[in-house]
Structure 1
Amino acid sequence: MRLTLFLILCLCGTIITPTWAGGVQIGRTRIIYPSDKKEVELALINRDNDLPWLVQSWVDTGDGKTRGPFIITPPLFRLDAQKEQSLRIAWTGAPLATDRESLLFLNVRTIPASEKGSEGKNVLRLIFKTRLKLFFRPAGLDGTPAQSCAGLTFRRTGNTLTAINAGAFYSVFDTLQLGGHRLDSLDMVAPKSTAQVALPAGVSGQTLSWRCITDYGNASASHSAALQTG
């Protein structure tokens, strides 16, 4: 889950005062959308003690621009202090792959209201944009996400490491290590695909160890495999 902060400086006086004391908490770190579901829900809670927040949500295909085939209800709403509301996410039925998972991204932008008495002051307002992975999961896929993770294989050619995912599910790494070195720059492998990363100088070893992030956002069991070469 990536968090981007946009700073908006409203110039109207001489004092700069932060306007946040809480914030909107999102109920999950990833969303699994089974294709046979009419919709899935995502809970949002405003942890602020006093201020309402404005919440805007949408789905994109990964480039940050192209909207994905999902409808968010409500797309824009006010969430009062200490209140909870769920986003309802519904697939439009537009074509997506049927033999493997598809990855899209849910964006949640939250904006705090201005505090009373802040008129005529300089106010530093933080706009939070949270981006969550949304996995569209067709019915009837072979295997499970855990099996895809456990079945990963790895090949080294020179200083390039290639991860190979023969399964139908995304494998997102919690940890990936070779010879005691963490390889944080390789974050996931798409289903029925490969992913490559350049190994740092001096990294050696013949055994990879890794954990994947599960549907619930925690780490899977640890796996290891001999490193193929050539």
Structure 2
Amino acid sequence: MNYPHPIIAKEGWPFIAATLILALLLSSMGAWSIPFWILFVFCVQFFRDPGRVVAGGPDSVLAPADGRIVVVEESEDPYLGRRALKVSVFMNVFNVHSNRSPIECTVQQKWYKPGSFLNAALAKASLENERCALHLRTTRGHDLTCVQIAGLVARRILNYVEPGTALAAGQRYGFIRFGSRVDVYMPLGSKVKVVIGDKVSATSTVLAELPE
């Protein structure tokens, strides 16, 4: 998927530039500069944002983020008020943190909820942490909810779309800084392709197939 800032996400440019300048300025101090060089390397790896091959077909729900599957269950979708199939992806600080559309769709609604900053791997993080949710409608009329959730370290959710925005499968729509989680609520009857503990890659891993 092409977009204007490949390889390194634009959200990271200020952090990378600042840590590089500090490391260079302190280089004359010898070993004292090492922590700043380590911080620079961390920022580069954290904000990496490689292109991805779009997997699956028109009814495939793709992973919206890199990480590990921590939830696969039937659950209440608190945004659309219905029973749904919930799959959650937990991102640690070493994962790519760009968030991508799980399917070709149009944004119907957007909700931002302030909240706590609990460990995003915990179940209650879905309801208590700061989060930003999107109601997505696919080209075939299915409704999904995709929720960005801040974590223990992540304190900034970035979301660049609004109701009416059309998204291609795998299109980049947001970013969460420094460790977090994304929940996807799908219609009941969807066929899940992952299990808890699986490592997934945004856009390149199919989470589920929507019902016909």
- How does the TM-score come out when normalised to structure 1? 0.28
Higher strand share: 1
| Larger Rg over CA atoms | 1
Choose between structure 1 and 2 for higher RCO, CA contacts under 8 A separated by at least 6 residues.
2
